[in-house]
Amino acid sequence: MTKVFPWESWSSAECLREELRRSDTGSASMTALQSKCGIQFLPVANVVECAEHIEIVVELPGLSHEAVLLEAHDSELFICGERMLREDDAVTTYHALECSHGLFARRFVLPEDFDPQAAVARMKDGLLCIQVPRRTREQGRNRKIHIAGE
């Protein structure tokens, strides 16, 4: 399990994880997440399957790798964190507030032939890029198969 996010509210992270695991689609409904865990948004992602790996690219502009939790559990990848509003002086007035902020989470359930425990991740230019390799198969090994008698 890879943890790269020093988040103070681990109870929120646990709530997120459990709610996302209950979801069959990989991203639970916003209503359920907002009411149970306080999730504000689900970051957008691209998932591409290549010959040797699956690549997941999640858009997280304005965040560093220290602000993101990435965990592998069985055949799942779990991502969560929080994007804070800029805290300027008290006289700040927003005329438009279109960028998502607050708690976020995503869960990706991977096919069985991929190994989330061997995932490699990097964060650059606001993109979290995760590569999950295919599981290695033992090829070219011969084995004798026992035939049971009557």
Reported as a single tens digit per residue, the pLDDT across 105-116 is 888 999 989 988
Predicted pLDDT at 48: 96
For residue 136, pLDDT beyond 70? yes
pTM: 0.68
| Count of residues making up the chain | 150
- Provide CB contacts within 8 A for 122, sequence distance 6+: 65, 128, 129
Q: Output DSSP code: residue 114.
A: B
**pLDDT category of residue 89 using cuts at 50, 70 and 90:** low
3-state SS string for 121-141: EEEECCEEEEEEEECCCCCCC
**pLDDT category of residue 23 using cuts at 50, 70 and 90:** low
Encoded amino acid at 138, one letter:
E
Residue closest to 121 by CA, chosen among 73, 70, 85, 81: 70
**pLDDT category of residue 98 using cuts at 50, 70 and 90:** confident
- Reading the block at residue 120, the tokens are 């490699």
* Mean pLDDT of the residues in the chain: 75
Predicted pLDDT at 125: 92
Can you say whether the dihedral through the CA atoms of 17, 2, 55, 85 is positive or negative? Answer: positive
What would the mean pLDDT of 118-134 be, rounded to a whole number? 92
CATH code: domain 10-85+100-133 is 2.60.40.790
Q: Are 132 and 54 within 8 A, CB to CB? A: yes
